[in-house]
Amino acid sequence: MTTTTPPLLVEPQQSPRKLKAQLRAQEAKTKLSSPWASLIAVVIAVLWTIPTFGLLINSTRADPAPTTSGWWHFWGVDGSFTLSNYSNAWNGNGSTPLYEFILNSVIITLPAVIIPITLALLAAYAFAWIPFKGKNVLFVAVFAMQVVPIQVALIPLLTLYSKFGLNQSFWSIWLSHTIFGLPLAIFLLHNFMKEIPGSLIEAARVDGAGHVTIFVRVLMPLLVPAIVAFGIFQFLWVWNDLLVALTFSGDNTSPITKGIQGLTTQFSQAGNILPAAAILATVVPLIVFLSLQRFFVRGLLAGSVKG
């Protein structure tokens, strides 16, 4: 996880410049760059899309086709158009049905997003608005923890969970994702909180509001965009995670990533439903991505990559 916030978050004082940029953009649209530039852009876009497109086609080809002929034959040769791969993957067709993995992913993801964000909000508030001795030292310590790769923490946590009898339960996965999400969450939310004018908090103080009231009534409503941005970030991270899942989850608590990983290890039997299963696994993150793209990009710009 890096600490790097690219130095280009939207700055409020930029608005006149932004307006100018818009004008410039309109002007530039008329004089499109050279045909060569367009050609290169199209080539890159096509290269980037073809593998996914091939998987999508393969997911709709009847049984032996995905593993016996190339997807560019579409529904000719040995495979006609079918959606049965999807129902076979969904119902498991003998092995664990995909819907169980997806249910597990949902069960894992909701608390693993809600808990770290709430805890991080509280901590970020204390760091931003409660003066106390040793604040700087503590904050730098939290800041520095973003550097720690999660690999370093996995085995001791495994031992700890087994002492509590929580191994392979959802609790161990929730707790792990909470711990791993906290440093970045605190750092980002603290940055957002610091930007809220102190006069606003001072005014609430004068009106007799305590820290809890200020936190809940004054700051939370203002922080909704930041919370959503980090929420999506954490959601996608937890949903797409494989390492934590493989380390801590058991047979009954495996998320979808582990399910798909299992299918790839039995390619000879599962190769034909694998494309459909992979598409099903990406449906939820894609919906989140497409519907909340703006927030997601904002989270990305603010937080770069963790792991």
> Hey, which residues between 172 and 231 contact other proteins (CB under 8 A)?
174-176, 178-180, 182-183, 186, 190-191, 193-195, 198, 201-202, 205, 210-213, 216
- Please list every residue from 104 through 143 that binds other proteins, using CB under 8 A: 104, 107, 110-111, 114-115, 118-120, 122-123, 125-132, 135-136, 138-143
Binding segment for other proteins (CB under 8 A), chosen from 85-93, 221-229, 243-251, is 243-251
- Please list every residue from 10 through 29 that binds other proteins, using CB under 8 A: 11, 14, 17, 20-21, 24-25, 28-29
Letters for 53-92 (x = contact with other proteins by CB under 8 A, - = none) are -xx--x-------xxxxxxx--------------------
Place of tokens 């049965």: 84
Smallest distance from the beta carbon of 82 to other proteins, in angstroms? Answer: 17
Q: Among 101, 239, 248, 295, indicate the residue that binds other proteins (CB under 8 A).
A: 239
Q: Please tell me whether residue 274 binds other proteins under the rule CB under 8 A.
A: yes
Q: Among 76, 80, 149, 224, indicate the residue that binds other proteins (CB under 8 A).
A: 149
Residue 173 main-chain phi, psi, to 5 deg: -75, -40
Smallest distance from the beta carbon of 55 to other proteins, in angstroms? Answer: 5
Return d(Cα 221, Cα 234) in angstroms, integer. Answer: 20
Return d(Cα 181, Cα 233) in angstroms, integer. Answer: 10
Contact in structure between 236 and 296 (CB atoms under 8 Å): yes
Binding segment for other proteins (CB under 8 A), chosen from 34-42, 82-90, 221-229, is 34-42
Closest to 278 measured CA to CA, from 57, 106, 123, 127? 57
Taking the mean position of all CA atoms in its chain, how far away is CA 178?
A: 14
DSSP 102-146: HHHHHHHHHHHHHHHHHHHHHHHHHHHH---TTHHHHHHHHHHGG
Smallest distance from the beta carbon of 70 to other proteins, in angstroms? Answer: 5
Q: Please tell me whether residue 155 binds other proteins under the rule CB under 8 A.
A: yes
Distances (CA, A) of 108 to 147, 168, 171, 248: 25, 12, 9, 12
Closest to 167 measured CA to CA, from 250, 261, 97? 250
